[in-house]
Amino acid sequence: MIATPYAPAKKSFLATYATALTTAIFLVVGVTGVLVFFHIGDKYLKGAHEWLGMAFVLAAGLHVARHWKGFLTLMAQKRTWALSAASALALGGFMLSASLAPTGGGNPMKAMVDVTAKAPLASLAPVLGVEPDQLVQRLEAGGVEVASLKQPLEEIAKSQGKPLPMLFGLILKPTAK
């Protein structure tokens, strides 16, 4: 059919949906990725983020199919290959650091925070170079009640409905003299 002002040509499925679908899913995956990265609602978003990530791969494939000639032109450029190689090296670096981590994988800083959160206050104090009573003072100055030096920060946070990062901030903040 020839397009005229009175009868526009019918667009194909790819022409109609590929770019719009890719854009819509990109926005959702991007927002959920940022939220999961900062652990904001990740309990609720992680599964959706992963499945929508798979949908994004499909949508991107449709987008590439729709713009195949432009894709081939892009792939012929040296900067595309250089950026692809840099991305692959960054991925390799993350994978290597995870494989060398003493925790058997994952982020070693997160593993350290998890271990610290589970340690009783009495054990945590020497690591921070303070007396256990000073940790209690710091927490109580921030409005956090401490029942025992045997309590770990994680337990204190849960029992009082306080965010764990807030408690870390309190114990790391020197007590005013």
Six token digits for residue 172? 């790391």
**Lowest-pLDDT choice from 15-24, 96-105, 131-140, 162-171:** 96-105
Six token digits for residue 98? 């995870």
**Residue 9 predicted with pLDDT over 80:** no
CB–CB of 84/39 below 8 Å? no
User: Is the pTM of the predicted complex or chain greater than 0.75?
Assistant: no
Q: What is the pLDDT of residues 88-104, one digit of tens each?
A: 999 999 888 777 766 55
